[in-house]
Structure 1
């Protein structure tokens, strides 16, 4: 026993517009897990590339993913649990994220492209244009049976997705958020 407190680390994953940030923030608010938005870890070059409608290639993603994994590992070392909104579209990306803290659970917000397209059409102020949705769908590698991934339907309301994630992952809500 190292004396380290056991921590939980959850990555809410899916294509752009699936509701990752909303659900991850909801999980954080309900549980007290430290929230982070993976988009904030992108380099200026990556953001500008996406803003101009050009998808990132793996070479541009590896440093970003390693930074996110390191952030989770640092929080684990501090004894803090985390919840992160991150696309994590490929198995290899999820494998990099798993190299950070002792364990990572994934919540995959999955569903029809039509539902996601409709959400993207309503979104404002985000650098990721709706035109990149097709490239994200093409890149997405659905989780394999050996991965710890809870799959939820994006058609559910955000509060229902948060509740399903809490239940599916066995995450207790803090006393302040219980009704």
Structure 2
């Protein structure tokens, strides 16, 4: 069974005539793969939710409907957290750049982006409060005081994968160059 999400660019040999996800620039897509740290943590949360659903079933068969409902709600919360964790990151399409966080998503049109730069600065290690010196892809928006950080080389997607960070930063920059309208002088 072919797994197209595991190929380098989403291309499979099966059907070359159908429209591929990477060729459709109207769809939101992540220009990089989720990192192993992000996937491993999501897998652990999915395993935990499976055990919680099993506990829900046991409590329901024992007749404790209130406890079963509480276990079900908790299991669905853990399941939703795992799925949202996999969505976190930078997404691009023809209209703009979308920064998906765990609790908040912000979309910026390409013509509102001033400049994308890779800079050396203190970055958060795996999203924790601890900071280390690393690289960050920043976006200077028009009218913003401090440029927001889009990607870091110490995030759950790029820790110990420096080449993948460079490739992702280049891809986001290429999307910006392609779809950003020139600034009127």
State the TM-score bracket (shorter-chain normalisation).
Answer: under 0.3
> Which protein has the bigger strand share?
2
In the superposition, the TM-score normalised over structure 2's length comes to 0.23
| Structure showing greater Rg | 2
In the superposition, the TM-score normalised over structure 1's length comes to 0.24
Question: Relative CO higher for 1 or 2, CA cutoff 8 Å, sep ≥ 6?
Answer: 1
